Structure 1
Amino acid sequence: MSLVGTPSDPQPLRADADVARFRRAMARFATGVTVVTARVAGVDHAMTASAFTSVSLEPLLVLVCVEREARFHDAVTESGYWGVSLLDESARTISQWLSTRGRPLHGQLDRVPHRRGPVTGVALVDPALAAIECRTTDLHPAGDHSIVVGEVMSIDLPDSPDGPLLYHRGAYTHLR
């Protein structure tokens, strides 16, 4: 059985692919945990994200995938600038709070230690292994998400005694 489409049938065959199976498969991919932030009309917006990666070294580009139905989607697309904080393992409660659906929009960072980025003024969460400020360069629709590509404007590498906050098989974990 071929899983690749033919020129007369450009759609690939879908043997046993469904949402539940896909979620289980993706849960097996260990990933770092980030908080992505944006500021619109003086209001901070934030979300926990694991769908973040580097794209290019020339120019310096990164991307984050944002669900279109999420409140954060409108904020990041409207702002044009955003920050990414790569969380260390001591930031688990921050990650959990900022991934809670329905949390209050105003004041959502009141209980989260953060500072303002020197270039864009977006909130950068502490504690973090790294913090990056970005300017949106591209926005690509992709299913129920948008791929937001950003040019890196600043990089902060604070000293952290902790390792990365990781997510694997539906749970937080750490390096062994």
Structure 2
Amino acid sequence: MTNLRRVMSTFATGVTVLTVGGENPHGMTANAFCSVSLDPPLVLCCVARTARLHKAVSVEGRFAVSVLSAEQETTACHFADRSRPHGWAQFAAVGWVPGSRTGAPLITGALAWLECEVTEEVVAGDHSVFVGRVLEAASGSGEAALLFHRGAFHGLPEGEAAGVPDGRVRTV
């Protein structure tokens, strides 16, 4: 499947940190995250069934999502590092606050945060797709997004999202 990995690396994605609080606190960098529905408000994330986060989400039934800003590449690398500490100790390296609805860590300085309750877990190959009902959503003050493309992190400055240097939105 190296060809599939190479092909999928051409698809630029945003970068998030998924977190769980409670008895099984854990965080993980993920780019397999998206909106599913506005009514009801649903999102999904895909987590390898062998990942520590998988068990934590399954047990707690809740998770949070921090959408990382371009300045948070170090945070993304920290939560992708399998040698980081376990439990609450892994969050000592970053600023965070507990989510008001889930207690899951919300990463300080992120572009946005969501707190979710799992409504469905679907096994899909070596991963599970967790569908979460959004309990709370908030936006931060950051402007530039952290992207992952071709195996590397990239910042997307404000105004370039629509491909227009002056920040105007282009319609088709």
Q: Normalising TM by the smaller chain, what interval? A: 0.7 to 0.9
Q: Which amino acid aligns with 1:168?
A: H
Q: 1:8 — aligned with what? A: none
Structure 2 counterpart of 1:101, from 68, 82, 86: 82
Deviation sequence 1:29-84 (CA, Å, 0-9, x none): 0000000000231x521000000000011100000000000111100110111100
Could you tell me which runs of 5 or more consecutive residues in structure 1 were left unpaired when the two chains were aligned: 1-18
- Higher alpha-carbon Rg: 1
Q: 1:137 — aligned with what? A: 119
Structure 2 counterpart of 1:121, from 78, 103, 113: 103
Q: Which amino acid aligns with 1:141?
A: V
Give the deviation of 1:156 after TM superposition: 1.3
Q: Secondary structure at the match of 2:81?
A: coil
| TM-score between both structures, scaled by the size of structure 1 | 0.86
Q: 1:29 — aligned with what? A: 11
Distance (Å, rounded) in 2 between the aligned partners of 1:120 and 1:79: 9
Moved more, 114-123 or 77-86: 114-123
Q: Secondary structure at the match of 1:121?
A: coil
Q: Secondary structure at the match of 2:93?
A: coil
Equivalenced residue count is: 156
Distance (Å, rounded) in 2 between the aligned partners of 1:171 and 1:51: 15
Tell me if the contact between 1:40 and 1:78 (Cα under 8 Å) persists in the aligned partners.
no
Could you tell me which runs of 5 or more consecutive residues in structure 2 were left unpaired when the two chains were aligned: 161-172
Aligned CA-pair RMSD:
1.1
Distance (Å, rounded) in 1 between the aligned partners of 2:75 and 2:90: 10
Structure 1 counterpart of 2:145, from 164, 170, 173: 164
| TM-score between both structures, scaled by the size of structure 2 | 0.88
